Amino acid sequence: MSDARTQILRRLAASAAGGVPCPRLEPRRFDWTPEEARERLGAMLEAVHAEVHQVGNDWPRVLAEQLSRAGARNLVYGAEGPASRALAAGWPEDGPRLVGFDRPIEEMREMLFEQADAGFTSCLAGIAETGSLVLWPTPAEPRLLSLVPPIHCVLLARDRIHSTLHALMVNQSWPERMPTNALLISGPSKSADIEQTLAYGVHGPKRLMVLIE
Amino acid sequence: MTSELRGRARQALGRDRVRANIRRAMDGLIDKRRAAFPDDEELERLRDQGMAIRDHALANLPSLLEQLERNCAADGIEVHWARDADEAKGIILGIIRRHGGEAVIKGKSMVSEEIGLNRCLEEAGVEPIETDLGELIIQLAEEHPSHIVAPAVHKDRREIAELFGQHYPEEPYSEEIEHLTALARRIMRERFKGTKIGLSGVNFAVAETGTLCLVENEGNGRLSTTAPDVHIAVTGIEKVIARLEHLAPLLTLLTRSATGQPITTYVNMISGPRKPDELDGPREVHLVLLDNGRSRIHGDPELRATLRCIRCGACMNHCPVYVRIGGHGYGTVYPGPIGSILEPQLQGLARQGELAQASTLCGACAAVCPVRIPIPQLLNRLRQEQARAEPKARRPGAWIEGIIWRGWAWIHASPARYRGVAGLLARTAWLAKRSLGPWTRTRTAPPIAKRSLHEIARDEGLSHE
Ligand code: SF4
C-alpha cells in the first residue's frame, strides 16, 4: 500500500511546479448593524422553512409551548450543555418530558431513533449572509441531537451573529482549533430529488425551531 | 466505439418522456442559478477566486496531500492511497471485512460510482444501501445516475411511485412527492439505526486542518458519517485545498452554481473520529485517496484544468447536448461537458475519445463554470489528439470538407462576393432545403431569411459602425 502512496506522490511531484501563490481572499463584506444582521439571519432561515422566534429569558416556556403545540412528548438535550441549566430551570411542569443525552450513543440509540420527538442544542454562532447556524458538537451536546429527532430546537444568543462564514472562521481562528465535527445548519432537512420539487424532512429533522435570545 | 455513442444518443433522443423530464429540470436549475448570482461583478470575482484556489491546490498537489495526510493522522483519521479502482475497492472491502460489516450505508459519492463500488460490494456479499433519495431511486431502478448532482433527474414522480410500489408493495401507493419522500425516510431509518459502516464522498479536503467537508440537503450524508461505528470517505486526490478559509468562496460557488441555493442545508466538516470523552460519532474514520488516472491528467499543463472541477453540474445544466440526450446518452459515469473532457482522459482516447465530439462547442459550459475550466478549448485539444491518432482513411469526406471551407473563405474575403452569394441564397432557399443532404437527415434545416441583416439594417437607417 505504501508504494501506491510513493508512486502517486512521485508522479505528481514530476508535474507540480508550484510557483502559484496562495490566493489572498478579499471576501465580500457587509456593513450590517447588529439589528440588520439579525433580521437578515431570520429572513434567510424562514425562507428555507425554519421557524424563528425572538425570545427573552423566559425562552424555555416559549419552547415548551411550541413543542406541545407540535405534539412533541419529549425533548432530548445535553444535560451538561451551556444552556441546559436554564432550560431545566425554566421548563414548565406540564411541558414535554426532558430527557438527558448523557450516555454513549450505544446506550442511547434506541431511545434517540425510536422515541425522541425533539432535540435541543445551543449554537456557537449564526451567519447572516446565508442564514446558517454554526454548531460545534461537544461531549455535552453530541452530534446526533441535531440530526435524529424529527424536531431540532436551537438557542442562539443575539450577540453571536456574524456577517459571513469567512469572517467567522478568521475572527475565531478556526484553523487552529477545529473540533472533530463542525456543522453549518441552514433549515430543516430537505430534498428536491423528485421533479425538482422541495419536500421537507427527508432524513434529518422535519422542523427547525430557532430561538434568538 | 463510434456507433455506440451514436446509438445511445439516438435511443436517448427517442425517449420523449425522459427528454421532457430533463428539459424541465434543467430549465429550473438554470433559472435558480441565475437568480442566485444577481451581481455579475461579484460572480466574476468569486469565479476568479475559485479558479485561483483550485489552481494553487493543483500546483502544490503532492505537498498538500502529504500535509492533509499528516493532519488527518494527527486527529486519528487513517489515510489510504489507491492507484486505481481495484486498489480502492480492495481497501474499502478490507475495512468492511475487518469489522464484519454486512451492509454499508452510503451518502452520495460519484467516486464510488467511478470505481463501481456497489457491484464489488454485492459480489462480496455486502449490501450497499444508497440513502440519498435520488441515489435510492436509481438503485431501485438498477440504473446509473444521469446527473452528478441530481441522479434521478430523468424520472418523473409517476415512474418513481411505480418503482416504490414494486419494491415496497406493503406501503400504500401514492404519486405525491411528500408521500414518496416520507416513505424513503421510513425505509431508511432502520438502516441508519442499525448499520455499522458508513461511506461517503468528500467535496473538499482541507490540508491545513485535515478536515473533510461534505455538503448535502437531506441529512443522509450526516447520518452516514455520524451514526455508524466506522466512516469510510472516498475521494479523488484532486479534491484537496490548502486552507480552511478557501472553503468560504468554494462553498458559495458550489451551491449557487449547482442548485441556486445560498448554502446547502448541511455543511459537515469532519476532522476526526469520536474522542474518548465524546458520546457519539464514528470510532474510526478512514480516508481513501484515489488516483485512477488523475496524476496522468495532472502531468499535462493544459489538461490539468480539468482537475479544478468542483462537481457542481452547472455545465451539464446549461449544455444543449446534455439537455437532449441526458446523462445516460453519454454512457459514462460523468456525463455532460465535464464528462466529455474527463472521461476520455480517465479511460483513454481510444475508448472514450468520441465523447470529445459530442459537443457543439457553443461555450455555454465555460461561461458558467465556477472555476473557469475552458471546456471547449480542452475538447478541441482532445479532438486534435484524436484526429492525429486516427488514420486518415477513416475520414472519407475530408477532401470535400477542404474544398467547402476554401470556398467559404473566398466568399467571405470580399463584401461584394458575400452580398452576392447571400442574395442568391435567399432566392434559392427552397433549393437548399432539399439538397443539404445527410445534414438534414437528423436536423431541421434552418429557414434562410428573405432579407439579410445588412439589408434590414440599411432600411432601419443604421450606419456602418
Ligand atoms: S466543469 Fe465546472 S461547471 Fe462543470 S461540474 Fe465541474 S465545476 Fe461545475
pLDDT in tens, B122-178: 999 999 999 999 999 999 999 999 999 999 999 999 999 999 999 999 999 999 999
Which B-chain residues 240-269 have CB contacts (< 8 A) with chain A? 242-249, 251-252, 259, 262-269
The residues, any chain, with a CB within 8 Å of residue B414's CB and separated by 6 or more, are none
Q: Is the pLDDT of residue B393 over 70?
A: no
What angle (nearest 5°) sits at the alpha carbon of residue B344, between those of residues B339 and B345? 100
Q: Enumerate domains of chain A plus CATH numbers.
A: 50-212 (3.40.50.10420)
pLDDT on residue B459: 82
Instruction: Count Cβ atoms within 10 A of the Cβ of residue A58 and give its class: 0-12 exposed, 13-18 middle, 19 or more buried.
Output: exposed
pLDDT of A132-171, one tens digit each? 999 999 999 999 999 999 999 999 999 999 999 999 999 9
* Cα A178 to ligand 1 centre (Å): 29
Instruction: Count Cβ atoms within 10 A of the Cβ of residue B122 and give its class: 0-12 exposed, 13-18 middle, 19 or more buried.
Output: exposed
Whether the CB of B110 sits within 6 Å of ligand 1: no
Distances from the Cα of B343 to the Cαs of B70, B214, B359, in angstroms? 31, 24, 14
Distances from the Cα of B35 to the Cαs of A47, B62, B455, in angstroms? 15, 38, 38
Q: How many residues does chain A have?
A: 213
Taking the CA atoms of B358, B118, B191 and B164 in sequence, report the sign of the dihedral they define. Answer: positive
Q: Is the pLDDT of residue B394 over 60?
A: no
Q: Which residue has the higher pLDDT, B396 or B192?
A: B192
Beta strands in B5-125 (DSSP E): 77-82, 103-106
pLDDT of B346-376, one tens digit each? 999 888 888 988 888 999 999 999 999 999 9
Identify whether the C-beta of residue B204 lies closer than 8 Å to the C-beta of residue B241.
yes
Once rounded to an integer, what is the mean pLDDT over residues A111-135?
A: 97
ipTM: 0.96
pLDDT on residue B456: 81
Which B-chain residues 83-122 have CB contacts (< 8 A) with chain A? 83, 87, 91
pLDDT of B407-416, one tens digit each? 888 888 888 8
- Strand A151-156, strand A207-212: pairing: parallel
Q: How confident is the model at residue A213 (pLDDT cuts 50, 70, 90)?
A: very high
Q: How confident is the model at residue B1 (pLDDT cuts 50, 70, 90)?
A: very low
In percent, the amount of chain B with pLDDT more than 70 equals 93
- C-alpha–C-alpha distance, residues B318 and B201, integer Å: 25
pLDDT of A7-34, one tens digit each? 999 999 988 777 888 998 888 889 999 9
pLDDT of A64-107, one tens digit each? 999 999 999 999 999 899 999 999 999 999 999 999 999 999 99
Task: Round the average pLDDT of chain A to a whole number and report it.
Answer: 95
Other beta carbons within 10 angstroms of residue B339's beta carbon come to 23
Q: Enumerate domains of chain B plus CATH numbers.
A: 60-157+191-292 (3.40.50.10420), 398-459 (no CATH)
Closest CA to B320 of B329, B309, B311: B329
- C-alpha–C-alpha distance, residues B164 and B160, integer Å: 6
Cα of A197 to nearest chain B Cα, Å: 8
Distances from the Cα of B189 to the Cαs of A149, B131, B168, B174, B376, in angstroms? 11, 10, 15, 20, 44
What global pTM score does this model have?
0.90
- C-alpha–C-alpha distance, residues B214 and B222, integer Å: 8
Once rounded to an integer, what is the mean pLDDT over residues B277-302?
A: 97
- C-alpha–C-alpha distance, residues B167 and B159, integer Å: 12
- Residue B133 and residue A193: Cβ atoms within 8 Å? yes
Of B177, B223, B247, Cβ closest to residue A197: B177
- C-alpha–C-alpha distance, residues B307 and B59, integer Å: 11
Which B-chain residues 14-53 have CB contacts (< 8 A) with chain A? 21, 24-25, 28-29, 42, 49, 52-53
* Cα B34 to ligand 1 centre (Å): 16
pLDDT of B312-334, one tens digit each? 999 999 999 999 999 999 999 99
Residues A2-7: contacts with CB under 8 Å, at least 24 apart: A2/B81, A4/B81, A4/B82, A4/B83, A4/B87, A4/B291, A5/B81, A7/B83
